[in-house]
Structure 1
Amino acid sequence: MRKNLFHNLALTLSLASSSFLASYPTRSNAEGIMSSSPITVVVAEFINESDANWWKEKYKSSFKNMLTNALSNTGNFTILEEDEEAIDRMTKKRSLGIIPGFGGSKKEDDSLQAKYIIKGYLSEYTENEISESTQVDFGAFGGGRMKQMFGKMGMNASPGGTQKSIKEVDLTFNVVVINPRTKVRAFTRTIQGSAKEEFLSEDVDMGFVKSQKKVENKFPIKRAVMQAMEESGKYLNCVLYLQDDCIDEMDAKEAARQAGNDAMDLF
């Protein structure tokens, strides 16, 4: 009987030990390289702190939507749609330690689920334009005789020419991730976007021969913004969800950006 008692006790300890080891996280699970569920966040409207003369009030939500789409496309985020007042209420409640299910409507309780608030600021904007023009003027040839000859033929001795422009825009966003419970900046990163485009216009009038071509385009601001929002989405996906080797890649990009800015400051 005593033998059976010891046998049962040993079996019980063995099973308990196996259960404990099975439930204890291994090194890879404990480090949490990748979250098993999407990260719930709120994206705030963007704020303009630059001297961009093209800025309009609607861009606050337009840029917010661009970043929201970039995060949604990763499949790793649940994004709550909240206005600025709701974000302020959420931050105050979280800082007071209020948890979901207490002291508010369902919408307010849902907003408390957000782990982070993401804010974006347009901090810098620059635009450059380089123009080259070519004008055709036959009036100076032959001591003015060419101009007289063109006039008799009903032609313009100064028919015009072409103009080529290269327009380039550079903008800088500051992306800030805030912990709504502590109001502390968990992450912050400067993201840049740039784009350029060539424009060619032609205006020739020789009297009986006329040619006018002009391409009307806005500065490539949208492409630069989309580039910056795409890069912002990659950064946030890396630091908030993936948390793997991508962090080294992001740090290398930031080091290269800062080195480039330091070099420009020398001039």
Structure 2
Amino acid sequence: MNQRIKYGSALLLALAVASPVALAQDGGKPVIAVAEFKNETSAGWWGASVGSDLAGMLSNEMSNTGSFRMVERSKIQNVLEEQNLMASGRAKASNAAQMGKLAGAQYLVMGTVTSYEENTKSTGGGLSFGGISVGGKSESAYIAIDIRVVDTTTGEISYSRTIEGTSKGSGMSVGVYRGGWGGSLASQQNTPAGKAIRAAVVMVSDYLDCVMVRQDGCEAKFNAQEQRRREKTSGALKLD
């Protein structure tokens, strides 16, 4: 057994002993870890650190709700590096549960960017060419994120949902992101992509707060949004 394997085994054992899920529960708040986001699109703004940046943004947003206890990103990153369970973006729920449990979390949130579209066009005599616009312009962006929440005790997916964020013109469709911008995403803060990302992050946080903590009837709003999303998606397919 080489030194790296010995070190990895010792680290995982230490995390499991020092941070058992049973001891991580505090005041009834769910203890959550957020894994690095994955990307299945050709979005030009996606860079090497964006997956980690998005995980950090969602962690901050969820922490700001006051409804969750968030596992430190450094702890989940240590487990990720040693276990390498999420490298392909297709980890089994049981493996993801193991990773979350070792990090001392009751639940592990996994996000995948599955769709991104951006449109810039001229309005009122303005011109748009090669991504550079002069004069009046209308900008919009759309992002869809698939969210899975894995119970680290059972290894089952407790919650799953596709969350959409859109920006139109100078505004965005939902929420106001309350965290800061950093890393590879810092340059996108005031772009259509940035506005759509903020909208999606807020919506993911609000959704998890609703279904995991509040459970006060707010689910109806999200169920209605999901129904509209499914109808819009299926309506785009024309069958002979």
SS of residue matched to 2:33: strand
Secondary structure class of the residue paired with 1:241: helix
Instruction: Provide closer, same or farther for how the CA distance between residues 94 and 129 of structure 1 changes in structure 2, counting only shifts above 3 A.
Output: closer
Q: Percent identity?
A: 26
Per-residue CA shift, 1:104-124, capped at 9, x if unaligned?
xxxx5xx33x11000111111
Q: Which residue of 2 aligns with 1:220?
A: 192
Q: 1:115 aligns with which of 106, 117, 121?
A: 106
Residue 140 of structure 2 aligns with which residue? 168
Is 1:58 matched up with 2:54? no
Cα distance in 2 for residues equivalent to 1:173 and 1:80 = 21
User: In structure 1, how many angstroms separate the alpha carbons of the residues matched to 2:151 and 2:125?
Assistant: 57
Alignment partner, residue 63 of structure 2: 72
Provide the C-alpha distance between the structure 1 equivalents of 2:58 and 2:114, rounded to a whole number of angstroms.
Answer: 16
Following superposition of structure 1 onto structure 2, how do residues 149-228 of structure 1 map, counting pairs within 5 Å? 163-197=135-169, 219-228=191-200
Larger radius of gyration: 1
- Let me know the Cα RMSD of the aligned residues: 3.1
Given the superposition, is the C-alpha separation of residues 131 and 92 from structure 1 closer, same or farther in structure 2, using an over 3 Å criterion?
closer
The alpha-carbon distance between structure 1 residues 130 and 71, as it changes in their structure 2 partners (threshold 3 A), is same
1:80 & 1:186 partners in 2: Cα distance? 18
Q: Distance in 2 between matches of 1:78 and 1:195?
A: 30
Number of the residue aligned with 1:86: 79
Q: 1:196 touches 1:220 (CA, 8 Å); kept in 2? A: yes
8 Å contact 1:168–1:219 — kept in the other structure?
A: no
* Larger strand share, 1 or 2: 1
Q: Structure 1 residues 94 and 117, CA, compared in 2 at 3 Å: closer, same or farther?
A: closer
Matched with 2:181 is none
Cα pair distance change 1:197/1:84, threshold 3 Å: same
Counterpart for residue 116 of structure 2 = 125
Structure 1 stretch displaced more, 123-132 or 86-95? 86-95
Shift of 1:192: 0.6
The reply on whether 1:238 has 2:210 as its aligned counterpart is yes
The aligned amino acid for 2:139 is K
Q: Shift of the alpha carbon at 1:165? A: 2.2
- How far does residue 74 in structure 1 lie from its aligned partner after superposition? 1.4
Q: What does residue range 32-47 of structure 1 map to in structure 2 within 5 Å?
A: 37-47=28-38
Distance in 2 between residues matched to 1:246 and 1:134, nearest whole Å: 44
Cα displacement (A) at 1:60: 1.3
C-alpha contact 2:32 2:107 (8 A) present in aligned 1: yes
Per-residue deviation at 1:261?
2.3
Q: Structure 2: which amino acid aligns with 1:253?
A: Q
The whole-number CA distance in structure 2 between the counterparts of 1:246 and 1:197 is 29
Secondary structure of the structure 2 residue equivalent to 1:73: helix
DSSP 3-state at the match of 1:53:
coil
Residue 243 of structure 1: how far off its partner (Å)? 2.2
Alpha-carbon displacement from aligned partner over 1:170-216 (angstroms, at most 9, x marks no partner): 11101110122333211110001111337xxxxxxxxxxxxxxxxxx
In 2, the alpha carbon distance for the partners of 1:194 and 1:48 equals: 17
Stretches of structure 1 that go unaligned for 5 or more consecutive residues are: 1-34, 100-107, 136-161, 199-216
Q: Which amino acid aligns with 1:173?
A: I
CA distance in 2, matches of 1:128, 1:54: 14
Deviation per residue, 1:55-88 (Å, 9 max, x gap): 1112112211211122111111001123345157
2-structure distance, mates of 1:93, 1:65: 18
TM-score, normalised via structure 2 length = 0.64
